[in-house]
Structure 1
Amino acid sequence: MILHELLTYETLRVIWWVLLGVLLIGFAATDGFDLGVGMLLPFAGQTDLERRIVINTIGPVWEGNQVWLILGGGAIFAAWPPLYAVSFSGFYIAMFAILAALILRPVGFKYRSKRESARWRSNWDWALFIGGFVPSLIFGVAVGNVLLGVPFRLGTDLRIYYDGGFFGLLNPFALLCGVLSVAMLAMHGAAWIVLKSSGIVAERARRFGTWAALATVLLYAAGGLALWLFVDGYRISGAVDPNGPSNPLAKSAEIAPGAWFANYAAHPWMLLAPALGFLGALGVLWSLKTGREVRTLLLSKLAIFGIISSVGLSMFPFILPSSVMPGASLTVWDASSSHLTLFIMLVCTGIFLPLIVLYTAWVYKVLWGKVEEKDITESGHAY
């Protein structure tokens, strides 16, 4: 109880904002290379054996990596209920498309090698490509739309009304963010294939990874420039109580040009995030040429950390702005669960999150090493 009293409502809200970012970055850094491998599967592997090698680089770990997506969704549901309600209802069709694509992965892994038919296996290879490409694209499109503002409003009883449609999400800036997401995760998948394979498969992955890393740098720069020139940000225009009750309508907010860059001007240390995004991707370019496999993967994770965290830092304290009713925008200070709920969840997270990290690290240690041809031809357990 003493700890509960020491951790103010404001502090807990910030902690859970950070934890949400950790879970989303954790998903991108782990399951992200699974998605990237799926996208590169038809290209890094040309023969059936080569494609089986690519699949088996992620075969033992992809299911465990999806835990981060479940944790992220659970954290949004429990810590930020209005955010969960708006995003999962407003982006319903997009979420359905993501889930449908993700379902293709386990089915593809299990059924691909059930028949010797080349056409059968090729069709499942492209299904796995879709299972990697579609979520990568839509996740990026979603982030782009969050930066633009989502067309929702709140009634006086805090009932949520969503005024947008699915095709409205496919605007130029959001699609640019989607393509950036695809390039970033393709780079990450290539780094993983290079680490876990050898020979011609690794060489092809190195080539595709080089192009993906270059695209990541250029698209990230283009996204930042577009955000500065064409996208208006949001800012709180009145007083706000960080320890007050969760009521988005209790504040005033407005749309303002350049507002998404105000945090960087006020807190220059935040510039470290976009710097890490650029340096990580450029480091992947350099590391792929020097053959440093572990370093390539770590630099790829660094790029992901920098790119995703730069979005969160630029938006703080906003977590979901409203384009049609700026005052109803959801922020860290007015969209959270109660003080007690956040505290209980923090205690549970402090117990179970380290266990998940330790177990994941142990699994990767046990499964360390490259996937070779003999592992496919001599094992009856390979995909």
Structure 2
Amino acid sequence: MATLPDIATHINLPASRLSLCLSAGAASLSIFVLFKSISNALKSEYPKIILSPKDTALPNLSQEEIKSLPYPPDALPGARNVDSPYGSIRVYEWGPEDGRKVLFIHGISTPCIALAGMAHKLVDKGCRVMLFDLFGRGYSSAPSPTGPNAIQYDSRLYATQILLAITSSPLHWSSFSLIGYSLGGGLAADFTSYFPRLVSSLILLAPSGLLRPTHITRTSRLLYSPTTPLPTRLLTHLVAARLHTGPPTATSLAHHAGFVPAFISSLQHAPIHAQQTRWGVIGARLDAQKAAPGDADAAREGLEQGKVLLLLGARDAIVLAREVGADAVAVLGEGNVEVRVLEAGHEVPIERVEECVEAVWGFWGSEA
């Protein structure tokens, strides 16, 4: 076995000098390993990001195939991709820069293009609109809800996404009207309860939030309970099978690997049921606004119209108009909510675009 003097002779260095070099090298290696460990530890604090079809599917499609998609990437004006620690967010913003600012939040299973009809018509009336794909839908990435750094699709994640979307604008979205549909309605009410000075007007279309838990089936309780005993892989397979209702090219399910995990986690953690406390916060602020009409602080934490507009579908089998309408009045307070029932199913803003826009426009009145 070669000794240190033998090695020193071979590379033409004194043994003492070689010893010093080896010690320095060992120290440098130790420091490198230490910093590498710290770097890996810091990286591990971030969630795994499930890429959207923007990064996984579109690069492999021809221009003709892209144009034929049900939701092509240029379907709406003013597209931008917003980077964040939770992945990329697809945001659309267009309309007159000095118009009323209107932010839309879509539902649990469709991307934001579902609300394009209303958005275009409000732009035609002079509004500045913004829509974005919720995490795990459309062209937005999905922070993984499973694994060592799992992210729950709850109030915190969605409030963060809303803030990321509005702060990505070149304009100041310091006050805006908020329109939420289905899950987006529950998210809109939740966001308003925490950030009242940002939201000037609140419109909820067939919203979640006050759905009565008595309607949850035994199967749904098993699948969507936060404490479900089902293994993740089996749960994902079962939910995907329930959601698949059409050809592979027609659904988010076919191309977005994060869709099913986001869908499951949203049902487990998002503000869908038992949100009376958060809605009650909005009602209390509206009561305070009415009690002190000259109080600037009360006005800023209230709403321009002094109430919430709630649009429901008469044939909606998910958000039952007779129940949600009554429960909204009970929790927000008499006079703090205007309930209108349209002849539609759950897809109220899709089936009745004109009626929804006219209801919103009339609700804003001369302030629009």
TM-score class, shorter? under 0.3
Identify the structure with the greater helix proportion: 1
Q: TM-score, normalised by structure 1?
A: 0.25
Higher relative contact order (CA 8 A, sep 6+): 1
